[in-house]
């Protein structure tokens, strides 16, 4: 069964450092997403991406965040200058269509900011 893969599974970084989280969506999917979940809290939408541009973004997705699809397979989330409150599990997801409601999530990347 095709799956979304994410790397790294866990990253520890110092406050103020840049972090790049990587995702390989399912190959024939066209829509890509990043969500995050702070420990013990809800899964929160960050951004959606289609046709090489951001479709929607939440208030969380400020100027410190950016996304990119540098080649035909990877989808990355960059945090320019990490803060303590960025510590969370970051989930990448992809979907075939925009209105299906069926997103395929990866296993997540745990980010710990010290």
Least distance in Å: CB of 10 to other proteins?
10
- Binding residue (CB under 8 A) for other proteins from 1, 59, 62, 99: 99
CB atoms within 10 A of CB 81: 12
Of 19 and 106, CB closest to other proteins = 106
Quick note: the x/- pattern for other proteins over 62-91, rule CB under 8 A, is ---------------------------x-x
Q: How far apart are CA 92 and CA 23, in angstroms?
A: 6
Contact 46, 57 (CB under 8 A): yes
Q: Could you give the dihedral angle defined by the CA atoms of residues 91, 67, 73 and 94, in that order, rounded to the nearest 10 degrees?
A: 40
Using CB under 8 A as the binding criterion, the count of chain residues that bind other proteins stands at: 27
Least distance in Å: CB of 67 to other proteins?
15
Q: How far apart are CA 79 and CA 61, in angstroms?
A: 10
Q: How far apart are CA 73 and CA 5, in angstroms?
A: 11
* Window 21-50: residues binding other proteins (CB under 8 A): 31, 33, 35, 42-45, 48
> Which residues make up the interface to other proteins (CB under 8 A)?
4, 31, 33, 35, 42-45, 48, 55-56, 89, 91, 93, 95, 98-108, 110
């Amino acid at each position: 069964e095709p799956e979304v893969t994410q790397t790294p599974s866990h990253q520890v970084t110092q406050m103020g450092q840049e972090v790049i989280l990587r995702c390989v969506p399912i190959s024939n999917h066209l829509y890509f997403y990043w969500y995050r979940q702070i420990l013990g809290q809800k899964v929160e939408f960050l951004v959606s991406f289609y046709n090489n541009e951001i479709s929607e973004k939440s208030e969380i997705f400020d100027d410190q965040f950016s996304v990119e699809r540098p080649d035909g397979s990877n989808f990355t989330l960059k945090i320019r200058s990490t803060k303590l409150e960025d510590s969370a599990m970051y989930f990448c997801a992809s979907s075939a269509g925009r209105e299906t409601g069926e997103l395929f999530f990866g296993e997540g990347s745990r980010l710990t900011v010290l």
